[in-house]
Amino acid sequence: MENKKVTEEKKIVRIKNIEIGSGKPVFMAGPCSIESEEHILEEAKALKEIGVDILRGGAFKPRTSPFDFQGLGMEGLEYFRKAADAVDLPFVTEVLSESDIEKMEEYVDMFQVGSRNMYNYALLKKLGKVNKPILLKRGFSATIKEWAMAAEYIAMGGNENIVFCERGIRSFSDYTRNTLDLAGAVLLKNMTGRPVIVDPSHGTGLRELIEPMTDASIACGLDGVIIEVHQCPDEALSDGKQTIDYETYRKIRNKY
């Protein structure tokens, strides 16, 4: 990566009729966690009505403490599949374990590798054999080279359907949860030719920064955003402070 060559080729990733990396920004939205069958269906319907390309939501939740809520697991995925089908939308969800891939594969449209697992090369290698696109989040303090190379662990297995997701890096900052590195995201896109989207929810940790950071991300040529939306953010089981409600999401979505 010493030679920061710019790749001209655009590596567009397709999920059903959605194209990521084609120039038109893609919106992924949904709750942090799938909370119940009714909850995820309601969210799916609301987001469909407002406008969303891909639903997001966690069934397997990586939590700092093993004693915290760990998600609904496979049961949650079943609910999510039903909800997504009901509104005819694809969804992305996080995979935490090599041994979950096979059983998850029949439910999900896109696998997310979270920040905690960006260096989990065993997981990445197995995802290289899967016939579903991968959303590869940046590790908490991953360099651009490490992030680009993590994608190669997937690609060398044959799966070239990789979308990067910038979600903020760890810095001394204590005002925002993380420091959103849009310049790094643009650099990675230029170097790899792969699509790069932005997660302004985790990237800032602050509800009021989601709209300006979405605008910034799209203005500098990145390929979309993934946003935490909840019918009632302050009652969300996790990540409430960085989650927006439907009206705020509608306002952002309608701009594009």
Contact with a second copy (CB under 8 A) among 10, 86, 212, 235 = 212
Residues from 35 through 64 that contact a second copy (CB under 8 A):
62, 64
The answer to whether 117 contacts a second copy (rule: CB under 8 A) is yes
- Cβ nearer to a second copy, comparing 62 with 75: 62
Distance CA 182, CA 166 (A): 8
The answer to whether 182 contacts a second copy (rule: CB under 8 A) is yes
x/- map, 131-160, a second copy, by CB under 8 A: --------xxxxxxxx--x--xx--x----
The answer to whether 22 contacts a second copy (rule: CB under 8 A) is no
What are the tokens at 185? 């995201």
> Are the C-beta atoms of residues 207 and 173 closer than 8 Å to each other?
no
Rounded to a whole number of angstroms, the minimum distance from the CB of residue 82 to a second copy is 26
**Helices 246-254, 210-219: inter-axial angle, 10-degree rounding:** 20
Q: How would you class 147 by CB atoms within 10 Å of its CB: exposed for 0-12, middle for 13-18, buried for 19 or more?
A: buried
Contact with a second copy (CB under 8 A) among 17, 67, 247, 254 = 67
Contact with a second copy (CB under 8 A) among 20, 46, 96, 104 = 96
Q: Which residue has the tokens 């997981």?
A: 123
Q: Are strands 13-15 and 18-20 parallel, antiparallel or unpaired?
A: antiparallel
Stretch that binds a second copy, among 39-47, 86-94, 209-217, 223-231 (CB under 8 A): 209-217
Binding site for a second copy (CB under 8 A): 4, 6, 62, 64-67, 96-100, 115-117, 119-123, 139-146, 149, 152-153, 156, 169-176, 179-184, 186-187, 190, 200, 203-204, 206, 208-209, 212-213, 215-221
